């Protein structure tokens, strides 16, 4: 550190040569960057290499080009997993957006018990997903399902459904749990956005005499669109790679009817020991995820710049 | 800061008035009904855990009973079983050690990085910050297979240290981003005043900037802790012995013996392990949202 000439008031940040400050500054960032590069960047590259080789647990593989991906494309289970991943992502995302928007508006305005209600509403998102999923598994039990009991006693069903044992209800259950868990996230993000809307813009539109629908779709929606967009992209990235719900709730069953890519990659890669094939399945979505990530970051960067 | 406004009872009055929702007070009943229905759906699984925890097996596994309430006196048997016949307390301790380790590693790396990127006017700091944040979006499911090899080479397979090592890759990126936001909000004048008063840069950081940003440090620390308790895939892949499992994994794997599920104890474990995490997470929710939405709410 440079010393300050007596009597002269100089900020040290200015007194120190700029290049030194920069070098030290980058050194402060280095540990975080190295940590992430070593345990996230390196495995990602290693995974891409694995996906192009026939590596197994006991064998260092040799380069086999895109064979793992071609094999996957001919694997009926992979096709099922890919289909289910896309169905779950699409349906669950649509449900999450609809419910999040509805809830964030329902929670607008001051009323008694609002903060208690908010605390309750975020519980599904804050409890570890493995623990809530196991509770749902018990609620969908083949013999003692409380969901069935309620539906039968409400007169909606004549007899209980084998929720996790039949294909369509099992998919429904996976989507339900995934949605139940993620709605609070969308809701609080949207509430943050709604709270921060500039009052003068709203007032101006009101003076213009826009009716309710116009106000909602022409003013509110464009204003919250960037936040909504970020929330959707984040959620899509995590839904497309989601594993815990399927792993614990259905295990991908019955007979792979709820199989998803991440869970299939786990089955092939870990108990199956086919590291190369497993890596290929896990990384299949990478191009899509990259695209979503770039979109999310561009939105964030633009807003950071505008702030 | 706007994050504070979200958490408080202060309502977004302007949006509320703007949409003329006040005129909808007549529809208030409908609104309360909708909120009530959703509250029931939200809370029911937690109620279900709670009541299952305290039910006798004879009550639990009798289809003639009304499952929503006790048909036999409540019991502590399931909790006793969990505490005495499983390694639940070991799992809790493992989770605590893992959590503390992840918090320490996260803060040691993320605080300097966040400070430098936010306050030293480094060229490209904003871009670098966004790139670090981007790594938060790399899901564990993409890299767990090659990571098993890395953990194996380091000799950490089937130890809690594999998780202490690997989980910060999730918490560091987000914490750097979060801390950047907090450090940016400390006025430069305060730090410069300390420097002018003869403090070194280190002193200024430790005596002025960090104390002012303690809410940010707490948020980053709690985030790291919560993330380490939320994790499932890494524990599943890296730990297999009962003695080294964290609690989220132990509860959902060791209370299932073949086809036999110990539902009462399973729910007891889920509740005892899950609720503290949920409450902790709730505390820094606003900071998390602030981090996600970045400049959008400024």
Whether residue A103 and residue B38 make contact (CB cut-off 8 A), yes or no, is: yes
Among B residues 250-279, those touching chain A with beta carbons less than 8 Å apart: 251-252, 261, 263, 266-267, 269-270, 273-275, 277-279
Q: Judge: A192–B117 Cβ closer than 8 Å, yes or no.
A: no
Q: Which pLDDT value is given to residue A306?
A: 53
Predicted pLDDT at B23:
58
The DSSP result for B195-244, as a single string, is: HHTT--HHHHIIIIIHHHTHHHHHHHHHHHHHHHHH--HHHHHH--SGGG
A206, burial (CB in 10 Å: exposed 0-12, middle 13-18, buried 19+): middle
Q: Which residue of A31, A195, A303 is the best one to mutate when testing the B interface, meaning the one whose CB has the most B CBs within 10 A?
A: A195
Q: Please, where in chain B does CATH 1.10.3720.10 lie?
A: 88-297
Estimate the crossing angle of helix B140-153 against helix A261-269, to 10 degrees.
20
Per-residue pLDDT tens for B247-287? 999 999 999 887 889 999 999 999 999 988 888 877 777 77
> How far apart are alpha carbons A136 and A146 in whole angstroms?
10
The residue in chain A having the minimum alpha-carbon distance to the alpha carbon of residue B4 is: A192
Decide: residue B168, CB within 10 A, 0-12 exposed, 13-18 middle, 19+ buried.
buried
Phi/psi at A163 (nearest 5 deg)?
Answer: -55, -50
Question: Which member of B135, B232, B267 has the closest CB to residue A244?
Answer: B232
Tokens of B2: 């706007």
| C-alpha dist (Å) from residue B181 to A82, A85, A87, B3, B130 | 38, 35, 37, 12, 12
Mean per-residue pLDDT over chain B, rounded: 85
Mark yes or no for CB contact B270/A234 under 8 Å: no
Nearest by CB: A127 against B261, B274, B290: B274
What chain A holds in terms of domains, given with CATH numbers, is: 12-51 (no CATH), 67-306 (1.10.3720.10)
Q: Give the count of beta carbons closer than 10 Å to the beta carbon of residue B126.
A: 15
Asked if B86 and B255 touch (Cβ cutoff 8 Å), the reply is yes
Question: Which residue of A lies nearest to B21 if distances are taken between CA atoms?
Answer: A109
Work out the pLDDT band at A6, boundaries 50, 70, 90: very low
Least-confidence region, from A105-109, A129-133, B216-220: A105-109
DSSP B166-194: HTHHHHHHHHHHHHHHHHHTS-HHHHHHH
Residues B294, A304 contacting (CB under 8 angstroms): yes
**Which pLDDT score is estimated for A278?**
92
Q: What is the pLDDT of residue B4?
A: 39
Burial of B22: CB neighbours in 10 Å, binned 0-12, 13-18, 19+? exposed
pTM: 0.86
Architecture category of domain B88-297 in CATH: Orthogonal Bundle (1.10)
């Amino acid at each position: 550190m440079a010393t300050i000439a007596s009597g002269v008031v100089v900020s040290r940040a200015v007194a120190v040569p700029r290049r030194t400050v920069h070098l030290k500054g980058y050194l402060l960032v280095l540990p975080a960057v190295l940590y992430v590069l070593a345990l996230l960047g390196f495995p990602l590259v290693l995974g891409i290499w694995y996906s192009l080789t026939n590596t197994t647990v006991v064998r260092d593989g040799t380069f086999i080009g895109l064979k793992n991906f071609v094999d996957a494309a001919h694997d009926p289970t992979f096709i099922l997993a890919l289909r289910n991943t896309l169905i779950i992502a699409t349906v669950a995302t649509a449900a999450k957006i609809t419910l999040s928007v509805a809830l964030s508006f329902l929670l607008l305005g001051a009323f008694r018990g609002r903060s208690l209600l908010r605390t309750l509403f975020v519980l599904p998102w804050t409890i570890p997903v493995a623990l809530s999923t196991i509770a749902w598994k018990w609620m969908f039990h083949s013999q003692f399902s409380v969901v069935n009991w309620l539906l039968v006693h409400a007169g909606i069903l004549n007899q209980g459904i084998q929720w996790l044992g039949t294909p369509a209800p099992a998919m429904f259950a996976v989507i339900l749990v995934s949605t139940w868990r993620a709605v609070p996230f969308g809701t609080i993000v949207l509430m943050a956005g709604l709270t921060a809307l500039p009052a003068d813009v709203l007032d101006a539109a009101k003076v213009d005499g826009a009716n309710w629908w116009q106000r909602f779709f022409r003013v509110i929606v464009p204003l919250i669109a960037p936040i909504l967009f970020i929330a959707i992209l984040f959620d899509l990235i995590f839904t497309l790679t989601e594993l815990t719900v399927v792993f614990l709730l259905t295990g991908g069953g019955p007979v792979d009817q709820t199989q998803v890519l991440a869970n299939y990659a786990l089955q092939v890669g870990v108990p199956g020991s086919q590291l190369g094939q497993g890596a290929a399945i896990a990384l299949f979505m990478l191009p899509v995820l990259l695209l979503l990530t770039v979109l999310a970051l561009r939105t964030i960067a633009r807003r950071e710049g505008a702030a | 800061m706007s994050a504070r406004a979200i958490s408080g009872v202060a309502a977004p009055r302007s949006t509320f008035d703007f949409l003329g929702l006040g005129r909808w007070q007549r529809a208030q009943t409908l609104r309360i009904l909708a909120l009530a229905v959703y509250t029931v759906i939200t809370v029911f699984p937690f109620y279900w855990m709670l009541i299952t925890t305290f039910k006798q097996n004879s009550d639990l596994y009798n289809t003639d009973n009304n499952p929503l309430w006790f048909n036999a006196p409540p019991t502590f048997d399931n909790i006793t079983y969990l505490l005495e016949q499983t390694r639940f307390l070991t799992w809790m301790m493992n989770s605590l050690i893992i959590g503390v380790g992840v918090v320490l590693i996260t803060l040691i790396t993320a605080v300097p990085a966040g400070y430098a990127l936010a306050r030293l006017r480094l060229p490209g700091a904003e871009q670098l910050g966004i790139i670090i944040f981007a790594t938060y979006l790399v899901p564990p499911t993409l890299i767990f297979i090659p990571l098993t090899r890395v953990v194996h080479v380091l000799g950490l397979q089937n130890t809690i240290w594999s998780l202490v090592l690997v989980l910060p890759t999730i918490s560091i990126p987000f914490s750097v981003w979060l801390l950047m936001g907090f450090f940016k909000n400390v006025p430069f004048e305060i730090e410069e005043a300390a420097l002018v008063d003869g403090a070194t840069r280190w002193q200024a950081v430790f005596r002025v900037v960090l104390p002012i940003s303690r809410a940010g440090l707490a948020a980053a620390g709690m985030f790291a802790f919560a993330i380490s308790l939320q994790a499932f895939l890494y524990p599943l892949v890296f730990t297999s012995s009962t003695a080294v499992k964290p609690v989220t994994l132990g509860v959902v794997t060791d209370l299932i013996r073949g086809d036999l599920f110990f539902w009462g104890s399973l729910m007891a474990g889920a509740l005892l392990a899950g609720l503290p995490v949920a409450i902790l997470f709730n505390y820094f929710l606003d900071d998390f949202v602030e981090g996600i939405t970045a400049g959008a709410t400024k």
